[in-house]
Amino acid sequence: MLISGKEEVVRVELTESLIKLDEVTIRAGQHKGEPLNQLAAVSARSFTMEETKRYAGSFDDPARMAASYDRVTADPGGGNASFLVNYCYSTLAMFNAVGMKIAGDAVPEFQDLTFHLNLPAKKAGTFSIFGLGGINKIYEEYSDWINDFGTDMGVFGVKHLYILNSKTYINTTLAMTASRNNWWHQRQIDSDAFQLTNREHFTYRDYRGSIIVNHKINPKHYLKTGFTYDDSKFDLFTDFYDRDDSVMVREVDQKGRTGHWQAYGSWR
């Protein structure tokens, strides 16, 4: 399907073949220097990978070659660390704060933050630092009862990619995750007071690590081996209000920890 005003891109993936064929050279019939995007009328130029070997200082790098053209400036930090950060806040909560109650009184208030840092370390490989955090709560208040529910979670980890040679690389990952759920429920006991009748608090923490070694024996055989370790902790309790004794009673009270090792290998 062709769309007016938009370049059509077709992606063709190739599978490595075990049969060696004679060399075939394919050349496009376009004019030299003409951009592939026909909608780019000015400030556009195309060049081949072969041309990157002919320009001084390009070092076979298309980005360096493009920077040598007139009126093109390059970031001196290019090729070094890169990062991605994203933050989100509840749109309904903002509307509710200014009096626009689109979803009624029970409006979820949430916010989350994600980030990913990529840190190349030359011969030491590439390090990546990533994280995710979120907070969510809903508060409901009516004439005879109140609900207060909230959750939050967080993820933090470090990854390392080390390339041994053209056939072998190692991936190492260390990560920690945590989550928490809280719920409070109150009921009106008289015209002036509310009584807490239900309460829940669940907390989970997990620590994970893995090392994966990938090796290409030949175009037909691949070997993948490694191990993972999971360490999990939990802290859970629930309370309810005993009307006969007029006290909060602990219904669930559990704490614990468990670990799991796993080693594996695959050959295909």
Closest alpha carbon to 263 in 213, 215, 207: 213
144 and 247 co-located in one domain: yes
Q: What separation in angstroms does the CA of 66 have from each of 45, 63, 76, 259?
A: 9, 5, 14, 52
How many domains in the chain?
2
> Does residue 204 form part of some domain?
yes
Cα distances (Å, whole numbers) of residue 219 to 50, 164, 266? 27, 18, 16
Name the residue range of residue 170's domain: 82-267
175, 205 Cβ separation under 8 angstroms:
no
Burial class (CB in 10 A: 0-12, 13-18, 19+), 20: exposed
Do 69 and 138 reside in the same domain of the chain?
A: no
pLDDT tens readout for residues 174-199: 999 999 999 999 998 877 788 999 99
* Rounded Cα distance, 66 and 171, in Å: 33
Q: Which residues of the chain have pLDDT under 70?
A: 1-7, 17-18, 20, 28-44, 47-79, 102-105
Q: How does pLDDT run across 108-135, given as a tens digit for each residue?
A: 888 999 999 999 998 899 999 999 999 9
Q: Is residue 61 domain-shared with residue 143, that is, in the same domain?
A: no
Query: Are both 59 and 147 inside the same structural domain?
Result: no
> b/e string for 124-134 if b means 16 or more Cβ within 10 A?
ebebbebbbbb
